[in-house]
Each structure stands twice: as C-alpha cells, then as structure tokens.
C-alpha cells in the first residue's frame, strides 16, 4: 500500500495550489495528487477563450509534466477515489489500489448537472466544463448557422458569446424564468444585460423549457414545451454544476450542500480538509456557511489550506467577486447577493443608461455594511465595493449618496 504524507484528491486550481504551498513549506514531505482527468492542471476559465480562438489549446494548460517532477509532486491521472476510510487514514481507488495518508485534502470541484430530455444523446449537444468539451465544441461549430443555449447564468453567456464569435448566425437562449438570470438579478438589471445580448445577435426566450431534441445522428431542432420549434445544428447546455461526493458515504465527513468546513477549511474529522467548489466553508465576513464555485476562490483556498495543513493555521477570508466580459459589456457579482440576506438594496444607474449597480446593505453587529453587489456594465465599481465588504466599512454616512451616480464609490475606502 502506498503511503504519503499529504494526499490531495483533485488536480485543478485548489488542489494544485495547495500542493505547491505544501511543497514549499514541507520540502521533505511526500505529496500526491489523484485526479480522474488525463491532464496536468489547466484553466477552466480559459476554456471559453480557447473556443473563441483567443488563446491556443497549449495556453490553457497552466502546468507541464516537468513542473510536477521539479516540485517532487506525484500526479496520478485517470484514477477515481471511490471510498474514504477516515478511521484508518486511507482511500480506495477504482482499480483496487489503496493509498494511506497523513493528511487529506478534498478538492474534487464540480461536475456538470446532466440535462434530461428526449434526444439529449444526439450529437452536437454539449456542456462546457473540460478541455475535451472545448475540443468537441470547436469541431461541432463547423458549418453551424443556428444554435440554442439551454440555461442562463455564466455558462449560458459563455456559450452565447462563443457561438456568435464562431460565426453562428442565429443564437437563441432558453430560460425557464420570466427574465434572464432571475434569482441573481432584478428585472431592470436583467434588461440591461438582455439588451446587450440582443444587440449582438442573441435572442432570449423566457418562460421556455426544452420538450425534446430532434435530429438524425446530430441535433437539428429543439422543440420547446410551449410548442416552438427552433433550428439548431449545435446546442449548449449550462444548468449548473454539482460536486460528486458519493465516495464520502459512510466516511463520517459532514456534508450539506458541500463538504462542511470551518474557517480554516478543516472538516469535522481530524486530518481531513476541503477546498474549492466542493467546500461549504464558514465565511467569517458574513458568519455563515458558503459555497463559491469560482476559480480565484479555489486558488486562494488552496493557498490558505496548504498553510493550515502544514501547521500554520490560517483563516480563509475573502470578499470574492466574479466577472464576465461579454460583447464589450461586463457583468459582475461581488460578495453576498442573496436578496433575502440584505436589509436593503440601493440602485445606481438605469436601463436607459445601459448600466446598473445594486448595492446590498445589512446591519451586522450594529454596523451598517455593504455585504454584496451586482454590477452590470460599470466594472470600475467592483473594486471599491469589494474592499468595503472585506474591510467591513460602516456605510451609514454614505448610504444616502449611493443612488447618485456622481458619488464616487472610491470614497468608501477613505
């Protein structure tokens, strides 16, 4: 049985970053990464740029085989962990191999949520998660003139942008809600984003769901539950991701929506940690459990947990933000944007101005604080709002000015 000091399940942002930090702090330790993919670390956020021919396939990869050899980090590819025995500090792989560990980090990320509808197995229906997905999408785009995107959100936007960038003439996005990205945006913010999409040749159909896909060998049409029939030589599906945590069954590791951790990214069991998309961590800024499926967050969590695992307990704390640039516009989410969490939401901008920011405000421990924001087409506002969230700034004397576009949010840092 193989025995390693530090075992990491998952070889993407959180896992690879943690391995590098551990190696730097523990030069003599053995470090092993197990991944079910057949690659060294590559950037999932560069995958859409590769599809749009903005970067080469080689540029998507962040680490080469030589890097792992130089760092003395063992990378075991195409192996899946199927069971954790926390009592005996070992994991079982799908091929029957067992690995005994000193400390274990789980960074399995998330897998796409599969879409179910008749005809979904026809050719040219794609998800956008892996480098292999990107290869297939690029090939499937050849000769395509009509495309349908199922689902809104970031992946829906990436599909729409990528299809148009590859010359697809007619792109239609189907969303089941009454407006695009309901639940994350209000109707006016959604309208700003929708106007941007439609001005760039992307049609949004709301209150629509797929009834079935039709075609012979490959998809040719999408039939909606309302009875519409849409031509489509290619389809993109983006309805979310979910971590596959089945291997933790009966392990004793506590799981809610993700693997529950404290502010140090420690699980309820000794010597077991979690980071990245699969971790539901204690957010010390808002004092609540949180999951962040964001590349930058995964990298920062990997760095943080690597320090904790090697003996320097480090609190994970961040005022996260995530942005997407699309058709010359920008859409950003900063901090906690759950409307039910805020006491008040202040609006800046308007549909007419083609930009809108919503600032989420909540009184915490007697202090009026910015806890989150959605920012459409005004990226300069993201940085000041993120800093105000992280620094827990008392905004009581500024709140009345927030709605005035002449008020510079940089004053929050003064």
Q: Per residue in 51-98, pLDDT tens?
A: 999 999 999 999 999 999 999 999 999 999 999 999 999 999 999 999
Please state, rounded to an integer, the average pLDDT across all residues of the chain: 95
**pLDDT at 246 exceeding the cut of 60:** yes
Q: Do domains 2-110+243-309 and 112-237 have the same CATH topology?
A: yes
Residues 6+ apart with CB under 8 A from 121: none
Q: Do 309 and 273 meet the contact criterion of CB atoms below 8 Å apart?
A: yes
**pLDDT at 413 exceeding the cut of 80:** no
pLDDT at 1: 85
Fold of 2-110+243-309: FAD/NAD(P)-binding domain (3.50.50)
Q: Per residue in 169-207, pLDDT tens?
A: 999 999 999 999 998 999 999 999 999 999 999 999 999
Domain at 112-237: CATH code:
3.50.50.60
DSSP secondary structure code for residue 42 in this structure: B
**Rounded CA separation 251/111 (Å):** 21
Report the relative pairing of strands 279-283 and 288-290 from DSSP bridges: antiparallel
What dihedral do alpha carbons 154, 157, 159, 164 form, nearest 10°? -160
Q: Per residue in 309-367, pLDDT tens?
A: 999 999 999 888 889 999 999 999 999 998 999 999 999 999 999 999 999 999 998 99
Give the residue extent of every domain in the chain: 2-110+243-309, 112-237, 322-413
**pLDDT at 414 exceeding the cut of 80:** no
**pLDDT at 228 exceeding the cut of 80:** yes
**pLDDT at 217 exceeding the cut of 90:** no
Q: Look up tokens 């039709």; give the residue.
A: 214
CA nearest neighbour of 376 among 166, 148, 180, 159: 180
Q: Per residue in 138-156, pLDDT tens?
A: 999 999 999 999 998 899 9
pTM: 0.92
Which CATH class, in words, describes the domain spanning 322-413?
Answer: alpha beta
By mean pLDDT, which of 19-28, 137-146, 228-237, 404-413 is the weakest?
404-413
Q: Which residues pair with 363 in a beta bridge?
A: 368
């Amino acid at each position: 049985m193989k025995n390693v000091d530090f075992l990491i399940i998952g070889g993407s942002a959180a896992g690879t970053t943690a391995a590098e930090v551990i190696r730097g702090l523990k030069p003599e330790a053995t470090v092993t990464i197990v991944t079910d993919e057949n690659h060294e670390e590559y950037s999932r956020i560069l995958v859409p740029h590769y599809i749009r021919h903005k970067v080469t396939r080689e540029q998507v990869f962040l680490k080469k085989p030589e890097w792992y050899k130089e760092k003395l980090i063992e990378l075991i590819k195409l192996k899946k962990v199927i069971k954790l025995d926390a009592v005996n500090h070992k994991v079982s792989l799908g091929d029957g191999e067992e690995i005994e560990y000193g400390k274990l980090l789980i960074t399995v990320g998330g897998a796409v949520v599969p879409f179910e509808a008749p005809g979904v197995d026809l050719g040219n229906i794609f998800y956008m998660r892996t480098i292999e997905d990107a290869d297939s999408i690029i090939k499937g785009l050849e000769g395509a003139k009509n495309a349908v995107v199922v689902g809104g959100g970031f992946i829906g936007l990436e599909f729409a942008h990528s299809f148009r960038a590859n010359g697809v003439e007619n792109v239609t996005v189907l969303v089941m809600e009454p407006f695009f990205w309901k639940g994350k945006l209000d109707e006016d913010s959604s309208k700003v984003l929708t106007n941007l999409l439609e001005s760039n040749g992307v049609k949004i159909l709301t209150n629509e769901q797929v009834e079935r896909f039709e075609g012979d060998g490959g998809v040719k049409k999408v039939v909606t539950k309302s009875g519409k029939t849409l031509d489509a030589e290619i389809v993109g599906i983006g309805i979310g991701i979910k971590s596959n945590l089945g291997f933790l069954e009966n392990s004793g590791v506590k799981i809610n929506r993700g693997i529950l951790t404290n502010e140090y990214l420690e699980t309820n069991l000794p010597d077991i940690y979690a980071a990245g998309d699969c971790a539901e961590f204690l957010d010390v800024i808002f004092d609540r459990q949180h999951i962040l499926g964001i590349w930058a967050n995964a990298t920062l969590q990997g760095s943080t947990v690597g320090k904790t695992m090697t003996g320097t307990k480090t609190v994970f704390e961040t005022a996260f933000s995530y942005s997407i640039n699309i058709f010359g516009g920008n859409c950003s989410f900063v901090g906690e944007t759950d409307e039910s969490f805020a006491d008040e939401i202040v609006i800046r901008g308007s549909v007419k101005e083609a930009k809108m920011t919503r600032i989420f405000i909540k009184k915490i421990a007697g202090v009026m604080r910015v806890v989150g924001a959605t920012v459409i087409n005004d990226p300069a506002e993201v940085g000041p709002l993120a800093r105000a969230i992280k620094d827990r700034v008392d905004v009581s004397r500024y709140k009345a000015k927030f709605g005035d576009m002449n008020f510079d949010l940089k004053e929050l840092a003064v």
